[in-house]
Structure 1
């Protein structure tokens, strides 16, 4: 547990956030409980964030900015804080993902992180029971903010049908997740194709991978494993994987047929219990 008097603001984004929160609060002559009342939380929570025992949320940060008139300072800092909660080996990829102009990914088992609902992400991340699931879920939700930009990256996802059939978090979580995927059908910058199980062997059998393209930097290939990621700008790898991805797109259902399949799986496999009873 961090001691507020000895907190080093240079140690990490979280330490800097806590140090700056305390500094700004005291500059406004507020006790922790008083600030908590203003932003509708407990003084204990304010204290825990100041001492790095709790990771701030974006909502908390926006409330603090409004209460202290800090011109978006904490709303900007929280992005760095949440990104720092990602696994160390994954952070370089997340940084490049946030800069990409075009993302194309094949997902063999799970829905892509940028398209996951909070409930689905929580179920996935809770498998290892690491004790910091709240922080990891918040970090994953923060990653998704790149899709809300005025100029978001173009995102093309080839999703194996197995990911639709694998029940993650229970039937309700899956129903909400598939419904969420359907909301992207009208998004001009997101395309989702489902690769049917009937396809048989295909160029994605090596596993999940992602290609990132940039406006001014070399393309990147990324593939993650259990506890590490592999990222390369090798022209040979980029050429091979880009061609392989094009073949995956050709083998997958069209975006329109993918919408119909996702809808059918959602309605037939994950229908609410009362819906089944009425049939």
Structure 2
């Protein structure tokens, strides 16, 4: 498309406020484009959304192959219930928080993987976003990921969703003791016209099933988690306190 417009790499780079070498790296697949880059290309070359459509496929390809089936179903769900034992759910992560997490085991692919995670989050920006209900272990608030500034920004991000009617966050405090999710994090997806799905993952694979017995057992377990956790209002109070006392200015 660049050549069809009679442009050299550095000329297109100038139009997009980036270097010609970046254009070359993306053209030769050495670097993965962001959605913002794709949208800027469409505007610069008048391609009627071509690159914006293609970038969805490109970014999806950066997800682990075993995770892609879940990501596809997550994007179609009308109701997402998740219990997170250690980290903030991916759809609510800030870029800095996601980068710190992904850089631990994927330091050479972190830009691409962060871009893919941010693309996943676009489901929450739709006109008809899914209902997202998050039960978050207190451990996720206290486990410092990326440093104090990153954590403060991440907890503030959670508070930003307080006024969003489709997003609810409950904190499960340590004081509850044993509970129905001691085996670890899991998600439940509901759809308008398809069976519910249960999802959990290990280090190298995800497990997704529509088995009715599993759905029934985990749905009851999740309801008990919701009943045991702090209310969304009290949870916001706890998140605010942790943000200020643990990650605030302590000079």
For residues 58-207 of structure 1, the aligned pairs below 5 Å read 58-207=35-184
Q: Secondary structure at the match of 2:118?
A: helix
Q: Secondary structure at the match of 1:180?
A: helix
* 1:232 is the counterpart of 2:209: yes
For residues 190-269 of structure 1, the aligned pairs below 5 Å read 190-269=167-246
TM-superposed CA distance for 1:34, in Å, is 1.3
In 2, distance between residues paired with 1:255 and 1:41?
43
The structure 1 segments of at least 4 consecutive aligned residues displaced by more than 2 Å after TM superposition are none
In 2, distance between residues paired with 1:247 and 1:73?
47
In 1, distance between residues paired with 2:132 and 2:218?
16
In 2, distance between residues paired with 1:188 and 1:45?
40
Residue of 8, 12, 36 corresponding to 2:13: 36
TM-superposed CA distance for 1:130, in Å, is 4.2
| Count of aligned pairs between the two proteins | 251
What CA deviation, in whole Å up to 9, does each residue of 1:45-68 have, x standing for no partner? 111111100100111111100001
Q: Secondary structure at the match of 1:128?
A: coil
TM-score of the pair, normalised by structure 2: 0.98
TM-superposed CA distance for 1:227, in Å, is 1.1
5+ residue gaps, structure 2, are none
What's the C-alpha RMSD, in Å, of the aligned pairs?
A: 0.8
Q: Secondary structure at the match of 1:168?
A: coil
Q: Tell me which moved more, 112-121 or 32-41.
A: 32-41
Q: Secondary structure at the match of 2:104?
A: helix
Q: Secondary structure at the match of 1:222?
A: strand
TM-score of the pair, normalised by structure 1: 0.89
In 2, distance between residues paired with 1:138 and 1:180?
18
Q: Tell me which moved more, 87-96 or 73-82.
A: 73-82
Q: Which residue of 1 aligns with 2:26?
A: 49
In 2, distance between residues paired with 1:115 and 1:247?
23
Higher relative contact order (CA 8 A, sep 6+): 2
Q: Secondary structure at the match of 2:223?
A: helix
